[in-house]
Amino acid sequence: MRTSLLGLVLFPALIACGAAPETSTDSEALGRQVSAVQGGTSDTKKANNFAVGIASRYGAVCSGTLIAPNLVLTARHCVVPPDGTAAVTCADTFPSRNVSPTSLFVTTEPRLRGAQRLYQAKSITTPSENGFCGNDIALITLEENIPDDEATPATPVVQFSMTDRTKIGGQITALGYGITSPNARDSGVRRIRQEINILCVPGDETYECKGAYARMLDSDKEFITEGYVCSGDSGGGAFDQESFARGEPYVLGALSRGPQTEDRCLAAIYSRTDAHAEMIIEAGVKAAKAGGYDAPAWLSAPADPTGDPQTGTVCDGETCTSTDATEAAPEMITTTTTTTGCSAAPGSASSGNLGALALAGVAALVVARRRRTA
């Protein structure tokens, strides 16, 4: 196995969805990059329709989790404009604007290509902090509700911490629409893998972050599991195994990125829902009002005070507004090298070229920081 290209990459699947609107010139290039749950099996169970696919006019495809009839949890890099220009590290920040919600569509169907029913996005909510690591999480509010007989939403962990071992176990289930290995060309099918071990949770003595795992994180708003997720699984949920098995899944986070070699997707890094509890709850309240349904149970109690109290940027239709104009600028991530923070993968040698994170819309292989990807 070659490890010279080992690094951290974002996990977008870059395929054109057959049922999505026509793509732009940029998306033609994106469409050639096809990057599902590694070692997973095809999942067509209606009971798992809370695991959704997200298609873009630009040709990109991500995964997500339905947490209310008209509200989807996903990764932030799935809703930023694809520029296809550079790699980034934890020292970098997200752009101030997201893509227009009118460019995004969601489906509960297990196959993205030729999906018969797509739900139009209405608005996008992202954290007010723009530092990449720890803030790679977003919420998409839909124009209409997904019917109860089509999908039952999962429950985001926002009313307690994922470190609460009376509620959360040590394994997750992963669901996503990505590829099955870094070199595969089989994205666009929902796949599932269960009993994936949690490896590192900041602040959790049971899963203490040590060594290379600690160096992969630059924020306590993330956690690490064993791999088995690849490009295209971006934004997909990490579902607590015990609650998933009893048919009442808790979603712990949205997939952000992870290290990989040429032939294996390794550990996976997720943005924590409990660390963004206030943002998720505020979006949930607005979504319930817009959708005209009773608020789900996870909105009925005070959020864990460790959550992010700032909603940040909200895009509605073609218009985006930001709280940055009226609030003090958030503290940015200060990591300045690629050998700390989000850089090293378990067992890898230090390298100035490691730790690059491929932006949505670019190839999955990691290259030197600030060098264009192929």
Pairwise CA distance, residues 274 & 233, whole Å: 21
Tell me the mean pLDDT in the region 115-124. 96
Residue 370 lies in a domain: no
Give kind and range of the element (H or E) at residue 211.
Answer: helix 211-216
Pairwise CA distance, residues 351 & 116, whole Å: 46
**30 pLDDT more than 50:** no
Residue 365 lies in a domain: no
**191 pLDDT more than 70:** yes
Q: pLDDT digits over 265-302, tens only?
A: 778 999 999 999 999 999 999 999 999 999 999 998 55
77: DSSP letter: G
Residue 374 lies in a domain: no
Confidence band for 82, pLDDT divided at 50, 70 and 90 = low
Confidence band for 10, pLDDT divided at 50, 70 and 90 = low
DSSP E strands in the chain: the ranges are 7-10, 41-42, 51-56, 61-68, 71-74, 87-88, 104-107, 119-125, 138-142, 155-156, 171-176, 191-200, 222-225, 237-240, 250-260, 268-272, 314-316, 319-321, 357-358
Q: 55-69, 230-244, 356-370: which range is least confident on average?
A: 356-370
- Domain of residue 292, residue span: 7-358
Tell me the mean pLDDT in the region 320-342. 28
Residue 276: give its domain's CATH number. Answer: 2.40.10.10
Which of 253, 313, 252 is CA-nearest to residue 279?
Answer: 313
Number of domains in the chain: 1
Which of 299, 176, 162, 298 is CA-nearest to residue 242?
Answer: 162
Q: pLDDT digits over 125-136, tens only?
A: 999 999 999 999
Residue 26 lies in a domain: yes
Percent of the chain at pLDDT exceeding 70: 66
**How far out from the chain centre does Cα 258 lie?**
11
Tokens 């196995």 sit on residue: 1
Phi, then psi, of 67 in degrees rounded to 5: -110, -5
Residue 222 lies in a domain: yes
Residue 197 lies in a domain: yes
Which residue would you say has higher pLDDT here, 35 or 229? 229
Residue 303 lies in a domain: yes
Confidence band for 88, pLDDT divided at 50, 70 and 90 = low
Residue 364 lies in a domain: no
* Neighbouring C-alpha atoms within 13 Å toward the C-beta of 46: 5
